[in-house]
Amino acid sequence: MTATSLVRLIAFLLLAAFITMPQGFAFLFEPLIAPGAPAIYNQGSLLVLTLQHLRTVCLATIASTVLAVALGIFVTRPSGAEFLPLSRSLVNIGQTFPPIAVLAIAVPLVGFGEKPTFIALFLYGLLPIFENTLTGLTQVSPLALEAARGMGMNARQRLVQVELPLALPVILAGIRLSVIISLGTATIGSTVAAKGLGEVIIAGLQSNNIAFVLQGGLVVALLAVLIHDGLGLVERVAARKLGRFLNEVP
Amino acid sequence: MVPPRPALSFDHLGFVIAVLIGIALFAAPFATYRATRIASGEARLVIEALPFSMAAALALVALGVALGAVLARDPLGRLGSAVIGLAVLLPSLGLSAGYLTPADNNFARVSPSLGFWLLSLSFSLLAVDALARMRLGPFGRLAALAVGASALALLLLSGIWDDLSILKEYDTRADSFWREARQHLLLAFGSLAAACLFGIPLGVASHRLRTLRTAVMQSLSIVQTVPSIALFGLLMAPLGAVAASVPLAAALGIRGIGAAPAFFALFLYALLPIVANTVAGLNQVPAAVVDAARGMGMSARQRLLGVEMPLALPVILAGIRIVLVQNLGLATVAALIGGGGFGAFVFQGIGQTAIDLVLLGALPTVALSFGASVVLDALVDLSKGTTPA
């Protein structure tokens, strides 16, 4: 076992221990708080909030992945080529929208709660995935496509058996970026009453309790680091498989 | 790849835009009327929201744009028709507000509704698509931005939009609007400047020393994963302690709550892109060029300032672009800890469920980020052009 994977394992165990039995860590947070104030978040279960946070992020990422990949495939086909220049500019413009603005504009349209958070995460998550799908699909070597055509593959077979596998590592990188941005943005969702770890942070800001802010922030940060690492691993596996595939078919 | 296109033929994107325009004109409300600023709204179609002649004119122009979008292929023509569409649509929103508001009623609010947003979206899509196809150079893009910004300023200054709900919100808060605007810019640009002053030398040092690079990059990436509101909150404690124990710091305005923790948090978030892009920029300077400079007898300092930094400039500027857009957005969150900025309106508006107030905070933020990204993209292109590759 390498040093980094040991660190990861320890981080994961710490996180799991903290969200399941936070009272065991109370002694760490006691020096930070005013006498008499609770040291550990006491308005709900950290485990439930973490799961709700992950659920929102997960659902939003799945929805943005499906739409972004489908759109990416569409604009790189001959029938969708007319949309390619526009979609490139839209991705650039879309990324200048701050996530908080998206969230704030969604609230008046759909009300408070999970919905505006989901919409903001979904819309904001589209951009990195769409951009990477475009990059991945457009950088597939024309030689590989020519070879596939020569083997008698039709357009659909070329897409599923050649283009998508070759673009997969880049698409996965986009999904990873999108998840990490969403994890942080979802905490802001708690300002519009979405369930999640942001609640802990906001409760801390409101009652001037630094221990709460630290707990919420640390759990989100640890989640982000672990998920970032985990998805990075998936990407490397995909790239390695691809490497083997390329070696087998020179 | 794309076969040459005839001057007149069926355009798929144009078809989508034409469908959007059709929905916006006939099936979606153009404006929303509310008896008070937080009352629920009543939808008004184009035909109800404008005097008949204006509604007919708007519908004719919009249909003309739709037809042009489907049939015309020339980007310049498409851009022209989109601009004419916007030139009719935007003032008519102001007219509609004046038309729908009963005389001498200060409580009623008229705001744009789905139909207006769809029309402006379809006209803007057409314009963006035409601009993308024209492949403007950096100066062309800056000029397009300047024209758009001046048109917007003209609309706002002419008073034609004064009856709109968002400008009524602005009217009651004109003083605080500009104060928050200054605060927002100060937070975003101030922390960017601090991050450049500190991050570029750190990047140069990290480029030279591999061990420093790993340590710096890893700690900065961890900072990036801490959600913004948590980092803002966490910095309140140490800065509050500094203010309590160091009178000079308190006199300088450093406090646990307010702008100081927000400024410091933005600074920390800004460091990673600046340091990483400085390192990446210096890494891509060809070793042969540096060797040649050494051969010419340049000192290490001359090589860095005269050769390496100019060649790394486009990449460093790209990092500054990322940071500026990110800072302008994140500065909105500063309002949560009393740091001010446009976020103050956003969060007040969320608290009062007043959509206009939310938009008063969100729209300037979006406009600023958009403007900043266009300007810096142009600068990146210009800096590439002036340095021999």
pLDDT, position B9: 58
Amino acid at B99: Y
Q: Do B63 and B208 fall into the same domain?
A: no
Distance in angstroms (rounded) separating the CA atoms of residues A220 and A181: 11
pLDDT of residue A250: 41
Q: Which residue of A has its CA nearest to B134?
A: A85
Q: Which domain holds residue B66?
A: 12-162
Q: What are the distances in angstroms from CA B195 to CA A73, A136, A210?
A: 39, 33, 26
Sign of the four-CA dihedral B362, B366, B371, B376? positive
> pTM for the full model?
0.84
A112 by DSSP, 3-state: which?
A: coil
Q: Is A248 on the interface with B (CB under 8 A)?
A: no
Is B167 domain-assigned? no
What are the two backbone dihedrals, phi and then psi, of residue B161, each rounded to the nearest 5 degrees? -95, 5
Cα-based distances in Å from B198 to B304, B307, B366: 17, 21, 27
Residue B3 maps to a domain: no
Given a cut of 80, whether residue A31 has pLDDT beyond it is no
d(CA B16, CA B22): 10
Are B184 and B141 part of one and the same domain?
Answer: no
Answer yes or no: do B191 and B157 share one domain.
no
Question: Does B199 lie in the same domain as B158?
Answer: no
Residues B338, B233, single domain; the answer is yes
**Which residues of chain B are within 8 Å of residue A101 when distances are taken between CB atoms?**
329, 332, 346, 362, 365-366
Q: At what angle do helices A210-248 and A198-206 cross, to 10 degrees?
A: 160
Find which of B5, B38, B166, B229 to mutate to test the A interface (most A CBs within 10 Å of its CB): B229
Q: Do both B19 and B141 map to the same domain?
A: yes
The pair of three-digit structure tokens given for residue B232, joined into one six-digit string? 């803002």
Please check the confidence at residue A111 and state whether its pLDDT lies above 80: no
**What distance in Å separates residue B384's CA from the closest CA in chain A?**
19
Q: Is residue B54 part of a domain?
A: yes
Pick from B226, B365, B369: CB nearest A221: B226
3-class DSSP state of A196: coil
- Is B349's Cβ below 8 Å from some Cβ in A? yes
Q: Are B335 and B346 in contact (CB under 8 A)?
A: yes
For residue B50, CA distances in Å to B46, B159, B161, B164, B262 come to 6, 18, 14, 14, 45
CATH number at residue B230: 1.10.3720.10
Is the Cβ–Cβ distance between B239 and B261 less than 8 Å? Answer: yes
- The residue among B135, B162, B189 that closes a domain is B162
Q: Which amino acid is at B11?
A: D
Domain limit, last residue, from B139, B162, B185: B162
In terms of DSSP H, where are the helices of chain A? 3-20, 26-29, 46-76, 84-94, 99-110, 114-138, 142-150, 155-158, 164-188, 198-206, 210-248
Q: Could you tell me which residues are beta bridge partners of residue B31? A: B44, B112
List the single best residue of A138, A207, A213 to mutate versus B (max B Cβ within 10 A). Answer: A213
Domain contains B97: yes
Of B222, B328, B373, nearest to A225 by CB-CB distance is B222
Q: What is the pLDDT of residue B5?
A: 52
For residue B295, being part of any structural domain is answered with yes
* Percentage helix, strand, coil for chain B under 3-state DSSP, each rounded to 5: 80, 5, 20
Give the separation between CA A72 and CA B224, rounded to whole angstroms.
28
The pLDDT assigned to B388 comes to: 45
pLDDT for res B266: 92
Apex B129 CA angle, B126 and B135, nearest 5: 140
- Is B132 in the same domain as B178? no
C-alpha dihedral, B108 to B114 to B115 to B118, nearest 10°: 140
Inter-chain residue contact A216 with B369, CB threshold 8 Å: no
Count of domains forming chain B: 2
Q: Residue window 224-243, chain B: list those with CB within 8 Å of chain A.
A: 225-231, 233-234, 236-237
> Could B227 and A191 be called an inter-chain contact, meaning their C-beta atoms sit closer than 8 Å?
no
Contacts of B337 in chain A (CB under 8 A): 205
State the average pLDDT for chain A. 85
Q: Whose structure tokens read 């040093």? A: A3
Per the structure block, which two tokens stand in for B184?
Answer: 């927002």
Contact yes or no for B329/B369 (Cβ under 8 A)? yes
Q: Is residue B232 part of a domain?
A: yes
Segment A213-241, tens digit of pLDDT? 888 888 988 898 899 888 888 888 888 88
Provide the 10 A C-beta neighbour count for residue A89. 15
Q: In chain A, what are the domains?
A: 44-248 (1.10.3720.10)
Q: Which residues contact B22 (CB under 8 A, 6 or more apart)?
A: B66
B92 & B198 share domain: no
Q: Do B11 and A225 touch (CB under 8 A)?
A: no
pLDDT in the model for residue B136: 86
What the block records as the tokens of A80 is 């969708």
Within 8 A of A82 by CB-CB distance, chain B residues are: 11-13
Does a structural domain hold residue B2?
Answer: no
For residues B197 and B142, membership in a common domain is answered with: no
Q: What is the pLDDT along chain B (389 residues), one digit of tens a residue?
A: 445 555 455 678 888 889 999 888 888 888 888 888 777 778 888 888 888 888 898 999 999 998 888 887 788 888 999 999 999 899 888 888 888 888 777 778 888 888 898 899 899 989 988 888 888 888 999 999 999 999 999 989 988 888 888 888 888 888 899 999 999 999 999 999 999 999 999 999 999 898 898 889 888 888 887 888 878 877 877 776 776 666 666 666 666 667 888 898 899 999 999 999 999 999 999 989 989 999 999 988 899 988 999 999 999 999 999 899 889 988 988 888 888 899 899 888 887 877 788 889 988 998 999 999 899 989 998 988 754 44
- B124 and B185 inside one domain: no
Contact A101 B329 (CB under 8 A): yes
Output the six-digit token pair for A6. 């040991």
Residue of A nearest to B225 (CA): A221
Separation CA B186–CA B164 (nearest Å): 29
Q: Note whether B122 and B219 are same-domain residues.
A: no
**Residue B285 within any structural domain of the chain:** yes
| In a shared domain, residues B273 and B318 | yes
**Domain end: B117, B137, B162, which one?**
B162
Amino acid in position B245: S
Report the percent of chain A where pLDDT is more than 90: 18
Selecting from B233, B325, B328 the residue whose C-beta is nearest the C-beta of A204 gives B233
Looking at the predicted complex, does its ipTM rise above 0.90?
no
Alpha carbon of residue B190 to chain centroid: 17
A196 touches chain B (CB under 8 A): no
Q: What pLDDT score does B48 carry?
A: 83
Q: Is B366 on the interface with A (CB under 8 A)?
A: yes
B22, amino acid identity: G
- Looking at residue A246, its pLDDT comes to 58
Q: What ranges make up the beta strands (E) of chain B?
A: 31-34, 42-44, 109-112
